[in-house]
Amino acid sequence: MAKELARSIGARGRSKAYHKRGVWAVKAKNGGKLPVHPKKPAAKHAAAKRTGRFYAPEDVPEPLPKRVVHKPTKLRSTITPGTVLILLAGRFKGKRVVFLKQLESGLLLVTGPFKVNGVPTRRVNQTYVIATSTKIDVSKVDVSKFDDAYFKRPAKVRSQKGEDGFFQADEAKKELPASYIEDNKALDAALKPIIDAVPDLAGYLAARFSLKSGQYPHLMKF
């Protein structure tokens, strides 16, 4: 290692330091020029997050990556179009309905029909139904217009109520759209001859399902 006479002042001059390093020999070997090597492509590494010198006084929430894959809901093998189902929850609990088709959301499209037992066309979750062995042919019934968007409710316009309006109940009665009522009538008209063709089926659909003492659903065959 070359000694320094003072700070930043070497013991050798520029000429002696040049010869000592051997750069002249490298130039002479390559025609008087220093060799130029091709640059290697830089590897693309993820920029490492540099840790700050100080910690933040409060925890900063960071969004977590969402890796949720939405798979279509698998329909139970016992539920096919035309199968009579028993509802286990909701407003029409215990009612028997006819399954029409499965919607894109995975919910089941069912109907009473309304003229038979008062259950209109609606969507239900297959978790809350019991599939029976009774089945009718609904292949000729047109249900193409019914989808998830058909049952979507219009957005409510919420307004701030005053002190007097807070204790007043909404007197406006909700009315069903006329198109929904007409579609239910058309669906009932299409299902009526099919139900009437099966003996005692109308009475079976109109009867409410119930259990008595000593009856166990897991031992029954529906």
Segment 133-142, tens digit of pLDDT? 999 999 999 9
> For 32-36, 87-91, 118-122, which range has the lowest pLDDT when averaged over its residues?
32-36
Question: Beta strand 108-111 with 96-102: parallel, antiparallel or unpaired?
Answer: antiparallel
**3-state DSSP helix/strand/coil % of the chain, to nearest 5:** 25, 15, 60
pLDDT of 112 over the 70 cut: yes
pLDDT of 1 over the 60 cut: no
Tokens of 10: 């070497």
Looking at residue 165, its pLDDT comes to 61
Positive or negative: CA dihedral 68, 70, 76, 77: negative
Looking at residue 131, its pLDDT comes to 93
Dump pLDDT digits (tens) for 40-71. 876 666 556 676 777 778 888 888 888 888 78
Q: What is the mean pLDDT of the chain?
A: 84
| More reliable by pLDDT, 78 or 163 | 78
For residues 4-24, give the mean pLDDT.
78
Listed in order, strand segments (DSSP E) in the chain are: 4-6, 9-10, 83-87, 96-102, 108-111, 122-124, 129-135
Q: How confident is the model at residue 97 (pLDDT cuts 50, 70, 90)?
A: very high
> CB–CB of 202/136 below 8 Å?
no
Global pTM reads: 0.64
> CB–CB of 110/191 below 8 Å?
no
| More reliable by pLDDT, 198 or 37 | 198
Residue linked to tokens 């409410």: 208
Tell me the C-alpha distance between 161 and 167, whole Å: 9
Q: Enumerate long-range contacts of 169-174, CB under 8 Å, 24 or more apart.
A: none
Looking at residue 163, its pLDDT comes to 63
Looking at residue 170, its pLDDT comes to 58
